[in-house]
């Protein structure tokens, strides 16, 4: 079974600074997706960024980028120029890319609460 | 376009009762999956439906069930409610099974007393 671990229950950052959230995962699969989701107090899970395991290039979405280390099974999220609106719970998630009965399932980490100080 | 709509937003039920939660996916999306979120267990996968068929199921007791209608709307039902069923129930929709771009709703907060 796949597992996803976020070792930082809480992180804080000053507005305009950079912060990195950590995530490690365990899987025997070679083809999969990794995601970072943001959950603000409104409760809706919002997709921040997605990485395909077969792509060596790290994904980037505006101020958000990842450091994907497949061999180390590490998938960290870097938020640059942090804004007050970035404050939320962040979840790292894993999904098999194709095939099998479980490949539609997302496996989530426990989450990291990010606080942004003005 | 309209997002994923979950109703109701909040619900209070008594132990032993049953409850039905509803999820309307984004228009054109045929995959709907459900997750339970609690402080202790985090986010756990319940099940996924595609074209009215359950394709995946998580490790939950048989008291948790679901279905999907021909218009892709989905319902999940929990019978014989227990205090531990108190949680935020999230629904996500996608175009196809395994669709990597799932869109989540804002959830239904269920409290069992």
**Under an 8 A CB cutoff, do A98 and B98 touch?**
yes
A-B interface: how many C-beta pairs under 8 angstroms?
Answer: 63
pLDDT at B60: 96
Mapped onto helix, strand or coil, the DSSP state of residue B76 is strand
Distance from CA of B35 to the nearest CA of A (A): 9
Q: Which long-range contacts (CB under 8 A, 24 or more apart) does B68-72 make?
A: B68/B32, B72/B25, B72/B29, B72/B30, B72/B32
The shortest C-alpha distance from A61 to chain B (Å) reads: 14
How close A1 gets to chain B, by Cα (Å)?
12
User: Alpha-carbon dihedral of residues B96, B99, B103, B104, nearest 10 degrees?
Assistant: 90
- Helix (H) / strand (E) element for A46: namely strand A46-52
Instruction: From chain A, pick out residues whose CB is under 8 angstroms from the CB of B99.
Output: 104
Q: How far apart are CA A88 and CA A74, in angstroms?
A: 21
How far is the CA of A59 from the CAs of A4, A34, A47, A52, A76, in angstroms? 19, 10, 13, 9, 11
Cβ–Cβ of B105/A110 closer than 8 Å? no
B107/A43 CB distance under 8 A = yes
**Residues 6 or more apart in contact with residue B39 via CB below 8 angstroms:** none
What SS3 class is residue B26? Answer: coil
Rank A30-34, B63-67, B97-101 by mean pLDDT and report only the highest: B63-67
DSSP B28: T
* pLDDT the model gives residue A40: 94
Q: Give pLDDT tens digits for A71-90.
A: 999 999 999 999 999 999 99
Q: Which residues of B4-29 are buried (b: 16+ CB within 10 A; e: fewer)?
A: bebeeeeeebeeeeebebebbbbeeb
């Amino acid at each position: 079974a796949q597992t996803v671990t976020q070792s930082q229950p809480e992180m804080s950052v000053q507005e305009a600074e950079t912060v990195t959230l950590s995530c490690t995962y365990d899987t025997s699969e070679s083809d999969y997706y990794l995601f970072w989701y943001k959950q603000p107090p409104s409760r809706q899970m919002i997709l921040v960024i997605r990485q395909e395991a077969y792509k060596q290039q790290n994904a980037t979405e505006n101020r958000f980028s990842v450091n994907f280390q497949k061999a180390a099974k590490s998938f960290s999220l870097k938020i640059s120029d942090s804004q007050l609106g970035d404050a939320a719970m962040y979840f790292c998630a894993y999904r098999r890319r194709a095939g099998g009965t479980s490949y539609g399932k997302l496996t989530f980490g426990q989450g990291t609460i990010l606080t942004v100080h003005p | 376009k309209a997002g994923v709509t979950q109703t109701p937003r909040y619900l209070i039920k008594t132990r032993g009762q049953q409850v039905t939660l509803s999820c309307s996916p984004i228009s054109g999306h045929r995959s709907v999956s459900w997750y339970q979120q609690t402080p202790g267990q985090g986010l756990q996968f319940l099940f996924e439906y595609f074209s009215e068929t359950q394709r995946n199921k998580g490790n939950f007791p048989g008291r948790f069930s679901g279905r999907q209608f021909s218009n892709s709307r989905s319902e999940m039902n929990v019978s014989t409610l227990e205090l531990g069923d108190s949680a935020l129930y999230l629904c996500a929709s996608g175009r196809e099974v395994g669709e990597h771009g799932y869109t989540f709703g804002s959830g239904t907060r269920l409290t069992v007393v």
